[in-house]
Structure 1
Amino acid sequence: MKTSADPVRDYLAAVEREASALPADRRQELLADLAEHIEVTRAERPEAPIGTVLAELGDPRTIAATALAEAGTGAPEAEAPVRRGKVHPLVPLLMLTVPFLVATILPQVAVAQFFSTVFRVIGAVLLCTSVHWAGVQKLTGVLVAAVLPTVAISVWVAIEAPGGGLAHVANLVTLAVLAATTAWLWRTRRA
């Protein structure tokens, strides 16, 4: 496969090819929306490589399949990947953040600690399988929102009994980092 000097044109051509079953006016509207989104993103983040901007938009097949499904012209097999794993982007973010808060409030309750861990693992899986974020965002989210609290809790339990002054400060700092990461993931999600 040969590469072009204009990745944006290649990307839009791929979307147009994949969305060929759309009515021409709807297909042109889709391409215009994508081109405008790329232009706005490049203006807002000129330092971002164009490959990153295009990756954040998503795979041309997925975009076309979504547009075809919305237009009601997609084949059932084209709709299946779009429908599978369709979870609201807020769900994994809440599952990564709220359980840590519960575990912090109820440090002596083993059931709370267990369910906190289970919910964070499920939240991490949902984040990783979501279509709303690019790979780097998913990795950052999992490391900061799932791995960091687990490591932090293990360290705090090892150095002092839950409820100590240092543990409270560390919990607040971790909660602030979790909240900031969740806000960042929410702002950078794909619609």
Structure 2
Amino acid sequence: MKTPADPVRDYLAAVEREASALPADRRHELLADLAEHIEVTRAERPDTATGEVLAALGDPRVIAATALAEAGNGDAEAPARGGAGAPARRGKVHPLVPLLMLTLSLPFMMVFPDHPGPLFGVLFRVTGAVLLCTSVHWSPVRKTTGVLLAAVLPTAVIAAWNLSGGGPAGDTPALWANLATLALLSGTAAWLWRVRRV
């Protein structure tokens, strides 16, 4: 008779098989991180089926390939530095960085409505979107959803308002529109933080 832990064991075994080329310590660290993430997700969302939790993590082959690519980048640099010390982990930005940049782009433009506020706000939004898209912490579907909700949609709405002249006129409607957009950005960032890969 199967126990509820069997799908998790099978999933972790598949990741271990696919990541067999990793050094043992990195492979064990990867498996421990995945197991912890699964446990935390199941505790936070007890109504979610185990299969859904595992599906949200992604295909074991993709996880293993990402880990192998990161290890390959670091190991390839080690000989150039004389092989001493731990290999550098290129391309790995803390997941909070793109989320903060996307969320804070609008408040920055609200606080500094004149130059340079809009320029920095747009730079924050574009940089946040690029960092989100190149991050290893989310699946491609979640990256696309995050960019659409936190970067493309607010930009398109603001541009349409400005070009049509039909945007909210006066201080109160403009404030409500900005607050609604900020709620969208904050909600998207909170969702992305919650579903990130550890």
TM-score by length of 1: 0.72
Instruction: Name the counterpart of 1:188.
Output: 195
Asked whether 1:145 is paired with 2:147, we answer no
Contact 2:111/2:117 (<8 A) preserved: no
**Gap change, CA 1:85 and 1:51, over 3 Å in 2:** same
- Give a deviation string over 1:135-186, Cα, whole Å, max 9, x none: 1221111111111221222233221476543221111111111111111111
Kindly report which structure 2 residues correspond to 1:1-191, keeping only aligned pairs within 5 A, or say none: 8=11, 9-15=13-19, 17-19=20-22, 21-22=23-24, 27=27, 31=31, 34=34, 37-38=37-38, 41=41, 44=46, 45-46=48-49, 48=52, 50-55=54-59, 59-63=63-67, 76-77=75-76, 83-107=89-113, 109-157=114-162, 158-160=165-167, 163-191=170-198
Give the 3 Å change call, closer, same or farther, for CA 159–56 of structure 1 in structure 2: farther
Instruction: Report the counterpart of residue 3 of structure 1 in structure 2.
Output: none
* C-alpha RMSD over aligned residues: 3.5
Listed one character per residue, the Cα deviations across residues 54-74 of structure 1 (whole Å, up to 9, x for unaligned) are: 3499521333566x69xxxx9
Structure 1 portions without partners, runs of 5+: 1-5
Opposite residue 58 of structure 2, the aligned amino acid is: L
Alpha-carbon distance in structure 2 between the residues aligned to 1:99 and 1:146: 9
Q: Structure 1 residues 154 and 130, CA, compared in 2 at 3 Å: closer, same or farther?
A: same
Would the alpha carbon gap of residues 177 and 114 (structure 1) be closer, same or farther in structure 2, given more than 3 Å must change?
same
Task: Give, in angstroms, the shift of residue 129 of structure 1.
Answer: 0.3
Tell me which moved more, 111-120 or 44-53: 44-53
The alpha carbon displacement at 1:82 in A equals: 7.1
How far apart are 1:33 and its partner, in Å?
5.7
User: Structure 2: 5+ residue runs without aligned partners?
Assistant: 1-6, 79-86
Q: Using a 3 Å threshold, how does the CA distance of structure 1 residues 87 and 30 change in structure 2: closer, same or farther?
A: closer
Conserved 8 A contact 2:108-2:120 = no
How many matched pairs? 175
Q: TM (normalized to structure 2)?
A: 0.69
2:140 partner amino acid:
G
Cα 1:100–1:32, aligned 2, differ >3 Å: closer, same or farther? Answer: closer
